[in-house]
């Protein structure tokens, strides 16, 4: 996650209620966008996608003509290759094993299994019924289920925080932090996603776009998800990568590229049809 110099947020509405339609409810309060995806129809419209080169969230939003677009997985801006698994239309679209900067880095290679097994958000097809799941990449998929689309990020926030297990922090034998990734211990903008199980076996997906107006460390991000009663939750890439495009809402977290935002690798889109 790239350290950002400044912040740019183009907010059209600053009231609590922003938009609600098509199974997508968006509220904005105290510097945080809270998006709730409800109903079965929206599950069919979700897709995690990637770009061969790096493009901004706004460009991905326009290219896919989607209803809503957010940033997702981690990537290496130097070689423009992924550090997170992405599955699109039931096929692996991005695989970090093909990122030579990961494979050739002795520290990353030593902790490769932790990186490869970071948490991901999945849309599963379970005997023609779609459902959400947050799990580690190598975890088993239920019988009669298959991954339709998914994006890896991390760390897992709920039901438990997995910082060391996913190589976001490294501690010495005395508990002192020797290494930190993705600014997990610092306050920054964040992109979070979680699942809430509601009545009669139904699910809601909750997305939080935590802007630079209310930056959070990873513990505050976990508590935010817990306070909304989510059953499971995880982070995507954050900081200067945090992005949202929905109707007239355009959120970026850096001015490195003017108002268009940081160039990114992967996205969650909600298709218009």
Q: What is the average pLDDT value for the chain, to the nearest integer? A: 92
User: What three-state secondary structure class fits 222?
Assistant: helix
Report whether pLDDT(189) > 60: yes
Burial (CB < 10 A; 0-12, 13-18, 19+), residue 17, is: exposed
H-helix or E-strand spanning residue 124: strand 119-126
pLDDT, tens digit, 9 for 90 and up, residues 41-70: 999 999 999 999 999 999 999 999 999 999
Q: How many angstroms separate the CA atoms of 68 and 193, rounded? A: 14
Domain definitions of the chain by residue range: 9-170+177-270
pLDDT, tens digit, 9 for 90 and up, residues 63-96: 999 999 999 999 999 999 999 999 999 999 999 9
The confidence score (pLDDT) of residue 20 equals 64
Helices H, strands E: what count in the chain?
6, 23
Report whether pLDDT(243) > 50: yes
DSSP class of residue 241 equals G
Q: Kindly report which listed range (116-120, 153-157, 251-255) carries the lowest average pLDDT score.
A: 251-255
**Averaged pLDDT, 214-224:** 98
Q: How many angstroms separate the CA atoms of 173 and 62, rounded? A: 49
């Amino acid at each position: 996650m790239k350290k950002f110099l400044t912040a740019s947020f183009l907010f059209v509405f600053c009231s609590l209620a922003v938009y609600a339609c098509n199974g997508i409810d968006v509220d904005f309060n105290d510097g945080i966008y809270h998006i709730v995806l409800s109903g079965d129809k929206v599950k069919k419209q979700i897709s995690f996608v990637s770009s061969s080169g790096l493009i901004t969230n706004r460009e991905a939003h326009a290219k896919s003509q989607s209803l809503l677009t957010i940033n997702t997985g981690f990537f290496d801006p130097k070689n423009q290759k992924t550090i997170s698994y992405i599955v699109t239309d039931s096929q692996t679209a991005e695989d970090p094993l093909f990122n030579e900067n990961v494979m050739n880095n002795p520290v990353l290679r030593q902790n490769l299994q932790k990186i490869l097994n970071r948490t991901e958000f999945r849309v599963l097809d379970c005997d023609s019924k779609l459902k959400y799941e947050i799990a580690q990449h190598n975890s088993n998929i239920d019988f009669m289920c298959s991954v339709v689309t998914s994006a890896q990020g991390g760390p897992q926030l709920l039901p438990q925080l997995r910082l060391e297990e996913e190589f976001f922090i490294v501690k010495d034998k005395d508990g002192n932090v020797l290494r930190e990734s993705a600014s997990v211990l610092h306050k920054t903008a964040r992109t979070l996603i979680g699942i809430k199980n509601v009545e009669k076996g139904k699910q809601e997906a909750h997305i939080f776009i935590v802007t630079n107006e209310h930056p959070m460390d990873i513990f505050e991000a976990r508590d935010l998800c817990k306070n909304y009663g989510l059953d499971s939750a995880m982070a995507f890439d954050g900081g200067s990568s945090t992005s949202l495009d929905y109707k007239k809402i355009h959120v970026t977290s850096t001015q490195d590229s003017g108002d268009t935002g940081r160039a990114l690798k992967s996205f969650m889109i909600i298709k218009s049809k």
